[in-house]
Amino acid sequence: MTMDSKLVDMTTPLEYGKLQLGNLLTETNAIPIILAFAAVVLPALIYHVGYATDIPHIKGLPEVPGAVPVFGHLLKLGEDHATTCEKWWRQYGHSAFQIKLGNTRAVVVNSFDDCKKMLLGNQNAVIDRPKLYTFHGVISSTQGFTIGSSPWDESCKKKRKAAGTALGRPALRNYYPMFDLESYCIVRDMQKDSQSGEVEIDVRPYIQRYALNTTLTLCYGIRMDAVYDDLLREILQVGSAISLLRSASENLQDYVPILRYLPNNEKTARSKELRDRRDAYLNLLLGKVRDMIAQSTDKPCIAAAILKDEETRLTGVEVSSICLSLVSGGFETIPGTLTSCLGSLSTPEGQAWQDRAYEDIKRHYPDVRDAWTSCFVEEKIPYVNAIVKEAGRYYTVSAMSLPRKTVTEVNWNGAVIPPKTMILINAQAGNHDTDHFGPDAGIFDPERWLKALDPPVESEAVGLGHLSFGTGSRACSGQHIASRLLYAALVRILASYKIVASESSPPNTDYVDYNQFKTALVAIPREFKVKLVPRDAGVAQGVSCAGGEEDSSALQGMSGGEMGWESPAKPDDVRFGSGKYETA
């Protein structure tokens, strides 16, 4: 036995390995080996960190040039993804293309026809939604995912079904008193705060309360009467801040994982703070419903129905998730659409649209009181319907819709999009597609939805009107209630006032630039003011009358006590909606 072999016998396997490597290095001069090793492994590593995506390049589908390592197209996309993609569509001549969001490959669809084909022609294949690090991993870790952000699974199916029942057309009749009360409150407070038209006002806060109270009443049987109620403003503020944390342009860390590990990660800290604030008010609301059930004072609402009905088989997290979905589904989309629409109507050009709408209201309801009491029951005034549709199309408040994900292959003109690929629908681009809507697609014009003007007659609805509610298997669950809310508020506001844009603070009516936060998931219109000119003195008087002693006592009677909230109107309480609203 040699010295060497004795030594080897006495070593551990690890030490033996080191020894052998040492020998190899000295005996064979290892530099070429190391170099060869580096030549193979390093490029693979660089490729993996810098260029690899969850889904490999999709053959046969154009890719926008100029992707850079690590970030892909993220930096080129800038803050406003919808507008950049719309530009790329026209620049490169392809409505559907692939891009890289950091390590995630996404297919973007732009033209109206392609968006429709992707969502309707492949309903089952694009039923899923992607999961994102910040929104799903941090913000939603406690209350569950909203329906709009839930991947497609059994729980999502149950939640979508429950929401569909609560928000479907047949259910709307149950909410008439609520529509009545909330739309009345808009006009009541506009009247008060504008001092009967003397002072210019910002209309958005009234519409925010309208949208939020509607869904809070639906979900929890709770409403707030004051436009600047603390809880109301907290819900709106937290919700808007969370919406900012959902978009791709705001969250590079979702697509560039290394950013998550940076020290003092502000995004994660902010997300946790917002999650805690949201948890606090959601738990408060749900707790309030539980208390009301215990005391048998609960109002009919989704939370109470689900909490009391053991048959639904929904978990506590699912109940919270449904309520959260409804509250967050409407509180920014409706104010974004309706505020901007009132902005367009208030312009000098918009005066003619308002006058024609007013004439059409009177044509269908010669006694304006009937319009006032029917606007939440039926949507039959063609000119107002045209304004509702144009507001939805032109102000595409959710410009990139909500992201989808494929569950099975999609054959796109011969290119095979594999399962698990992110699909982005550029609703803003499709809604302003000149090939579909004509050369004036870029201007606001309610009359595009009418086939005759004197008197106004709506064009026959053939299929999908616009893309703002999405379509197909994961289309907006709240679209019927949203249309009714827009219609009812418009009828009451337009029947009461001529809206005139402020000269010192006019609205921005550009379909891209009206939005002050391009990175938010849902647009927030830039602030503007309007002057409200009463249509006739009697209407204004009627509002102040209805909102005076009689109704304020009805509202006080509904006070929700220690929280300062007010519970919703019982049908009998809503006296102004039962024909007692006075006009001249």
Q: Residue 275 CB, nearest distance to ligand HEM (Å)?
A: 20
Q: Does 115 bind ligand HEM (CB under 6 A)?
A: no
Alpha helix locations (H) across 449-536? Answer: 479-496
Q: Residue 157 CB, nearest distance to ligand HEM (Å)?
A: 9
Residues 471-490 that bind ligand HEM (CB under 6 A): 471, 474-478, 481-482
And the tokens for 166? 């609560």
Residues 205-234 that bind ligand HEM (CB under 6 A): 215
Q: What angle do CA 513, 514, 515 make, to 5 degrees?
A: 85
Report the residue number whose CB is nearest to ligand HEM.
470
DSSP notation for 79-131: S-HHHHHHHHHHHHT-SEEEEEETTEEEEEE-SHHHHHHHHHTTTTTT-B---
Q: Residue 260 CB, nearest distance to ligand HEM (Å)?
A: 26
Which CB, 288 or 389, lies closer to ligand HEM?
389
Residues facing residue 72 across a β-bridge = 68, 101
Q: Residue 214 CB, nearest distance to ligand HEM (Å)?
A: 7
Cα 288 from Cα 302, distance rounded (Å): 13
Which CB, 223 or 498, lies closer to ligand HEM?
223
Can you tell me which of 83, 155, 354, 468 binds ligand HEM, judged by CB under 6 A?
Answer: 468
Which CB, 194 or 321, lies closer to ligand HEM?
321
**By CB under 6 A, which span of 62-70, 394-402, 428-436, 539-547 interacts with ligand HEM?**
394-402
Q: Residue 204 CB, nearest distance to ligand HEM (Å)?
A: 14
Q: Residue 409 CB, nearest distance to ligand HEM (Å)?
A: 20
Q: Are 535 and 358 in contact (CB under 8 A)?
A: yes
Cα 402 from Cα 329, distance rounded (Å): 11
Q: Does 144 bind ligand HEM (CB under 6 A)?
A: no
Which CB, 132 or 252, lies closer to ligand HEM?
132
Q: Residue 127 CB, nearest distance to ligand HEM (Å)?
A: 9
- CA-wise closest residue to 327 among 401, 242, 397: 242
Which CB, 437 or 469, lies closer to ligand HEM?
469
Q: Does 405 bind ligand HEM (CB under 6 A)?
A: no
Can you tell me which of 175, 469, 497, 581 binds ligand HEM, judged by CB under 6 A?
Answer: 469
Query: Could you tell me whether strands 404-405 and 422-425 are parallel, antiparallel, or unpaired per DSSP bridges?
Result: antiparallel
Contacts of 226 (CB under 8 A, 6+ apart): 232
**By CB under 6 A, which span of 55-63, 466-474, 537-545, 561-569 interacts with ligand HEM?**
466-474
Q: Does 163 bind ligand HEM (CB under 6 A)?
A: yes
**By CB under 6 A, which span of 245-253, 260-268, 325-333, 339-347 interacts with ligand HEM?**
325-333
Can you tell me which of 201, 314, 397, 490 binds ligand HEM, judged by CB under 6 A?
Answer: 397
What single-letter amino acid sits at 299?
Answer: K
Q: Are 97 and 61 in contact (CB under 8 A)?
A: yes
Helix, strand or coil for residue 553? helix
Q: Does 330 bind ligand HEM (CB under 6 A)?
A: yes
Alpha helix locations (H) across 444-578? Answer: 479-496, 537-546, 549-556
Q: Residue 468 CB, nearest distance to ligand HEM (Å)?
A: 4
Q: Does 108 bind ligand HEM (CB under 6 A)?
A: no
Q: Residue 579 CB, nearest distance to ligand HEM (Å)?
A: 28
What is the phi/psi pair of residue 569, to 5°? -70, 140
Q: Does 326 bind ligand HEM (CB under 6 A)?
A: yes
Q: Are 472 and 126 in contact (CB under 8 A)?
A: yes
Binding string to ligand HEM for residues 60 to 99, with x set by CB under 6 A, is what? ----------------------------------------
Let me know if 277 is exposed, middle or buried by CB neighbors in 10 A (0-12, 13-18, 19+): middle
Q: Residue 464 CB, nearest distance to ligand HEM (Å)?
A: 11
Cα 20 from Cα 25, distance rounded (Å): 9
Q: Does 339 bind ligand HEM (CB under 6 A)?
A: no
What single-letter amino acid sits at 142?
Answer: T
Cα 214 from Cα 209, distance rounded (Å): 8
Which CB, 191 or 396, lies closer to ligand HEM?
396
Which CB, 194 or 483, lies closer to ligand HEM?
483
Can you tell me which of 102, 144, 148, 343 binds ligand HEM, judged by CB under 6 A?
Answer: 148
Positive or negative, the CA dihedral 491, 492, 495, 498 is negative
Q: Residue 424 CB, nearest distance to ligand HEM (Å)?
A: 11
Q: Residue 336 CB, nearest distance to ligand HEM (Å)?
A: 7
- CA-wise closest residue to 447 among 487, 510, 390: 390
Contacts of 425 (CB under 8 A, 6+ apart): 109, 115, 118, 119, 400, 401, 404, 467, 470
- Longest Cα–Cα distance of the chain, Å, equals 119
Which CB, 432 or 535, lies closer to ligand HEM?
432
- CA-wise closest residue to 369 among 495, 192, 186, 181: 495
Position of tokens 């009181």? 369
State the residues that interact with ligand HEM by CB under 6 A.
119, 147-148, 160, 163, 167, 215, 325-326, 329-330, 333-334, 337, 397-398, 401-402, 404, 468-471, 474-478, 481-482
